[in-house]
Amino acid sequence: MDAPTLKRIGIRDVAEHAGVSIASVSNALNRPEQVSDRLLQRVRASVDTLGYAPMPAARQLRQGRSGLIGMTVINISNPFFGALIAGAEDAASEAGMRVLAANSDDDAAQERDHLGLFESVQVEGALVAPFSDTHTPVNRLRGRGIPVVLVDAMDDAGELTSASFDNVAGGRLAAEHLLATGRRRVLFLGARDELAQVRDRRLGARDALAAAGMDLPAERLPRTDPASGLEYGARLAAADPADRPDAIICSNDHLAMGLVRALLDGGVRVPEDIAVVGYDDTQLAAVAAVPLTSVRQPAAAMGRRAVELLLGRIRAPRAPRATVVFAPELTVRASTVG
């Protein structure tokens, strides 16, 4: 037998139960200072009896507001982006707003679709952690009066407010640490160069090695998830030891943890044979099979700051753009020092 359909209690039901007009209920709920104590108590008693729950989103839309912030991230399976969203949600909640989070899943077309969705549901602002060149859909949002803040990326055109991370400095930190531990055959393992964050990490590492008279070969993978790390690590473990690097800088912790697992399974010692550095310093880095040295990105703090910047744009759309850049820190663990 089908489950009974539960009727949603509406404002009309409250009015009928209290024996007053719908307008009186609306005033009691939204402008209680304008009604008598007797009417207010009567309406509140009916609300409690019926279990009526106002719909703040609908009320905000009637007032020309949605109370929503749209947020699109590159890959929500990466713990970095989960922490980024959590920081944004905390700051938005404190401001009485909600975050509508969307995952582009390393897909430019999906990213554009999400930005179109934000436009259709009338978000009050959008946070974009871009996977690709998003200028066309972002400019369409801005043309509709929806402010946009970039997260984990800077605007090369100098038009958008952003909260980002100094990835060049982060890549340099990772390479300098490996040089200090005596590594001389360093490989960069990451995604395609169109992802600016990864490109900057590679360039920072390359500059540090070039200063020491060394090259930085790079392997570019279609995805940077644990499965990709496992696959590449298995191939590396099967290779001639003379052909292997003695250190690898991974573009994120997700990739690095899959890589380390495959190396260990293939009989390659970490860090004695190959040292591994991750990126993001997610919570999982400290509890990996070999605790992972990683460049720390303060994801939650970045998400929170991005919301603060966006709220500023919502209040003052003509204010000058702001650029906030977080500095890197290296957390050293067993994957590079044993």
Q: Report DSSP letters for 83-149, one per residue.
A: HHHHHHHHHHHHTT-EEEEEE-TT-HHHHHHHHHHHHHTT-SEEEE--SS--HHHHHHHHHTT--EE
Tokens for 49, please give them: 């009896």
**Strand (E) or helix (H) holding 165:** strand 161-165
Q: What is the pLDDT of residues 114-166, one digit of tens each?
A: 988 898 888 999 999 988 776 777 888 888 889 999 999 888 778 899 999 99
Assess contact for 310 and 268: CB atoms under 8 A. no
Helix (H) or strand (E) holding 72: strand 68-73
Provide DSSP, 230-273: HHHHHHHHHS-GGGS-SEEEESSHHHHHHHHHHHHHTT--TTTT
Q: Is the dihedral of CA 116, 118, 119, 120 positive or negative?
A: positive
Cα separation values, 280 from 17, 40, 256, 305, Å:
56, 53, 11, 17
Task: Give the per-residue pLDDT at 64.
Answer: 52
Q: What pLDDT, on the 0 to 100 scale, is given for residue 227?
A: 95
pLDDT of residue 3: 45
- Which tokens is 194 given? 């169109």
Element of type H or E holding 171: helix 167-180
Task: Please give the structure tokens belonging to residue 122.
Answer: 């009338």
Q: Which residues of the chain have pLDDT under 50?
A: 1-6, 57-58, 61-62
> Which residue is associated with the tokens 């790079």?
218
CA 312/CA 305 separation, integer angstroms: 11
Beta carbons of 164 and 150 less than 8 angstroms apart: yes
- Give 81-119 pLDDT, tens digit per residue: 999 999 999 999 999 899 999 999 888 889 889 988 898
Which residue in the block uniquely carries the two structure tokens 């975050």? 99
Query: Can you tell me whether residue 82 is helix, strand or coil?
Result: helix
Whole-number pLDDT of residue 5: 45
Return the amino acid letter for 1: M
Whole-model pTM over 0.85: no
| The pLDDT value given to residue 61 | 44
HSE value, Cβ hemisphere, 13 Å, CA-based, for 226 = 12
Amino acid at 140: R
The pairing of strands 329-331 and 293-296 is: antiparallel
